[in-house]
Structure 1
């Protein structure tokens, strides 16, 4: 391993203090399978070590070992980064796997939930459900809250309640100097601002204090499945859906997405209220008629249904895949003629795989009601994101080229202001423009805060915030 890595392993061994299952290194024949566990198999990365701490003090000591040996650090919660950033994104980092940080408690006075950074979203929902509470997040149950809540945490509830990070009241975080800190609006407020949108660049959050809401008593779920031989036959369906989500008065209790797949498309919607309230909004009249409309029996059931739809696009199972994405302001939405042209173009392309999907996800509502500089998350003006996926065994160059050409086609047809994307949709092809695309006008402030809290760039991945001097 060399002198530096040998010194690192000795230091981490001291932190382990005889505990088994605490740390592993590349020499372990099961290292990649049992410890590293890459999510995107097309992105190869070998950390210098993977550590599974039990406490915040463990994490503080691990960070001190890494900095003493000039090794970068990244934390992994669920491990669903598209570029494996929880493993460092590049060889030689110390990856801190937060799987053992499972603290949970609910304050029955404030209804604030304290949630350990190792929790997966599905388990969080089960714990919240025990007291009839909820907060906004995405629908994939195996995604870890540690990364999700620090990037944004978008999902069908975002239009009603805001993003997941909008619910963070306070965090416990270990900073680059190995100190265990608290951060909130009143304590270390600059760090708190940065952690809500760019968390992986500023520290390892060990626990969150989250504002919660009463769990909705009624949920109406809508789905429409169209099966045609050509995408061009469905251009009118998409145009109608886009007109609906472009309405500035669209009821914020309604979340929806349009998913294009080979030979078909799905329009999925969730309304947090009763069937009668849903009908009164006028939304059903704008959707295709008579297909699979139902009222979920409970809150957890609605989340499970959303997870099923999401799984059609990108499985929780590790695979070699590629993805592109873009955010749209209302003025940037694709006009009807452009939609027709886009869908016809898609029909003509050689995708190189049958495992591909194109997802358009409505945003806005409560998320847009927050000022763009209130947190590091910048995309408050976006009312829709598109995201493409393609999986291949192996992933072919023509498949990546299809998604790249598709992205360029969308840019050509969208409004001239279409730019930027959500940091949760990691795209290595963005290169040096990634930070501008993810954080926009908030990037200079993030760079200044980085100088204060992490001047030597301990918390680093290929697209993380850099100190402004760099």
Structure 2
């Protein structure tokens, strides 16, 4: 262990570690930024006060007490994929509690509930669930994302319309709160805290263990890809409109998930259907998607997930780069009109993008997610049918033109919708003017009260987390207890762990050719190999 800073805080952390190697790192350590901090978004510079790697929950509790006694903010890291580096505190001076050692797993064979350590990556969760009874949960496609943040902020993926979000599978947690106590939280115990942890986890404590309901693995899984190449993005307008009409159909089969991904070379429509190819054809969905170069693969559940995880380009999602990201969430009444779609495509064609590596990703949501009342969890997007994510990537650095390009897309879409659009906290936007309102909307008042009750000193904090006693600055017509109807959301240009839902770009989903292009380009740049 390197010599720590001379302070009561460092002394406290060292006492918890008891001389264990690899337990704590400090800014004075050689290669601290590389070996301990490991920023995901290289465009956001910060230096944590220390990074710790506890082995047991009691270590987490002790580290939290050290931070509380020395007025140091705390954030947890599971997979480390926060777009704004919130798992590192989001700004200088935080204590990072890295949960990589929390890898315990067990299955209750009577009720098929799995107990899973918060340090697991998604690909490990999939494999362990498969090996323990052929079970599964909803989660995203990027294998390196950590469960700790994914299951406390939302957790969206191809099976979410069928099974609900990742956090909808959580029935109980073990969490360390701001007073350093180890608590259990569920709908029956500490229910107010449980509500907050399911969607705003980073503001309320550090979850070390999840108890999750599981589903029987589906049989066949149909994965399709339509690749579309046009000389101008404007030519994609009718294709996108047809896709948007499909995914916003209230009768859309819940076994179906899809994305529309635009990039420098064109676009690609991807989708997953949990059923046989014959069942997929019978839904009529294939006939409603404009065809291009088509690829259809039929797998079982594990084969489907493994194919995604083994795609070398997808693993590039774990690569640190400099990027900017913005996102929006849409109700059925906020979808883009024909004119707005054309304006968007014209903007993309005419803008100085400043990079060849950018994505604009639209993905379908809803289904079982929207069966849950909006006020049942901190996650508020129970009335949404579509999300949009824009990314611009700089190699090796991000330039202002790329940032302006992504901001321009966001502004153009906002101006074309009659009501304000909200944002999913898993697709974090570091530049939001009112982030808490945009992320949690009509649930913010309740979250502010829970924060006041459980963390009045705002120990668990990042630049966009819930503040004690915070209230919404937007007048919401709050009919959440009985309805998931759409609300006018805040605009503006985890406990759990703060490891974002996405935290990975759609390298795979942008098509093999573009993924190879990105891989080769990145590989030629020193420091990115």
Deviation at 1:60, TM superposition (A): 0.3
Q: What whole-Å deviation, never above 9, does each CA across 1:176-199 have from its counterpart, x for those lacking one?
A: 000000000100000000000000
What is the number of equivalent residue pairs in this alignment?
Answer: 467
**Structure 1 partner of 2:107:** 106
**Structure 2 partner of 1:258:** 260
Q: Give the 3-state SS of the residue equivalent to 1:236 in structure 2.
A: helix
Q: Give the 3-state SS of the residue equivalent to 2:432 in structure 1.
A: helix
Alignment equivalent of 1:407, drawn from 391, 407, 410: 410
Q: Give the 3-state SS of the residue equivalent to 1:177 in structure 2.
A: coil
**Structure 1 partner of 2:7:** 6
Contact 1:328-1:418 at 8 Å conserved across structures: no
Distance 1:346 1:290, change over 3 A: closer
Q: Give the 3-state SS of the residue equivalent to 1:458 in structure 2.
A: coil
**Structure 1 partner of 2:231:** 229
**Structure 1 partner of 2:47:** 46
Q: What whole-Å deviation, never above 9, does each CA across 1:154-201 have from its counterpart, x for those lacking one?
A: 111111111000000100000000000000010000000000000000
Determine if the alignment matches structure 1 residue 56 to structure 2 residue 57.
yes
**Structure 1 partner of 2:337:** 335
Take 1:306 and 1:436, find their aligned partners in 2: how far apart are those partners? 34
**Structure 2 partner of 1:125:** 126
Alignment equivalent of 2:391, drawn from 389, 392, 401: 389
Distance 1:309 1:238, change over 3 A: farther
Contact 2:52-2:96 at 8 Å conserved across structures: yes
Deviation at 1:394, TM superposition (A): 1.2
Unpaired runs of 5+ residues, structure 2, are 472-529
Q: Give the 3-state SS of the residue equivalent to 1:428 in structure 2.
A: coil
Contact 2:226-2:268 at 8 Å conserved across structures: yes
Tell me which of the two structures has the higher relative contact order, counting C-alpha pairs closer than 8 angstroms and 6 or more residues apart.
2
Distance 1:200 1:271, change over 3 A: same
Alignment equivalent of 1:359, drawn from 361, 365, 368: 361
Take 1:167 and 1:223, find their aligned partners in 2: how far apart are those partners? 28
**Structure 2 partner of 1:214:** 216
Deviation at 1:315, TM superposition (A): 2.7
Distance 1:435 1:5, change over 3 A: farther
Take 2:87 and 2:223, find their aligned partners in 1: how far apart are those partners? 34
Take 1:237 and 1:313, find their aligned partners in 2: how far apart are those partners? 29
Any residues of structure 2 matched to 1:19-418 within 5 Å, and which?
19-130=20-131, 131-289=133-291, 291-306=293-308, 315-392=317-394, 393-413=396-416, 415-418=417-420
Contact 1:218-1:295 at 8 Å conserved across structures: no
Take 1:383 and 1:9, find their aligned partners in 2: how far apart are those partners? 48
Q: What whole-Å deviation, never above 9, does each CA across 1:375-396 have from its counterpart, x for those lacking one?
A: 0000111100000001112100
Deviation at 1:297, TM superposition (A): 2.4
Deviation at 1:418, TM superposition (A): 4.1
| TM-score (ref. length: structure 1) | 0.96
Take 1:200 and 1:300, find their aligned partners in 2: how far apart are those partners? 31
Distance 1:269 1:78, change over 3 A: same
| TM-score (ref. length: structure 2) | 0.86
Deviation at 1:222, TM superposition (A): 1.1
Q: What whole-Å deviation, never above 9, does each CA across 1:135-164 have from its counterpart, x for those lacking one?
A: 111111000000110000011111111100
Deviation at 1:310, TM superposition (A): 11
Unpaired runs of 5+ residues, structure 1, are none
**Structure 1 partner of 2:454:** 453
Take 2:343 and 2:43, find their aligned partners in 1: how far apart are those partners? 31
Take 1:354 and 1:213, find their aligned partners in 2: how far apart are those partners? 40
Contact 2:51-2:95 at 8 Å conserved across structures: yes
Pairwise CA RMSD: 1.8
Q: Give the 3-state SS of the residue equivalent to 1:50 in structure 2.
A: strand
Take 1:25 and 1:91, find their aligned partners in 2: how far apart are those partners? 13
Q: What whole-Å deviation, never above 9, does each CA across 1:60-106 have from its counterpart, x for those lacking one?
A: 00000110111010000000000111110111110000000001011
Contact 1:139-1:310 at 8 Å conserved across structures: no
Deviation at 1:296, TM superposition (A): 2.7
Q: What whole-Å deviation, never above 9, does each CA across 1:26-80 have from its counterpart, x for those lacking one?
A: 0011111011010000011100000000000000000001101110100000000
Deviation at 1:308, TM superposition (A): 7.7
Deviation at 1:289, TM superposition (A): 3.5
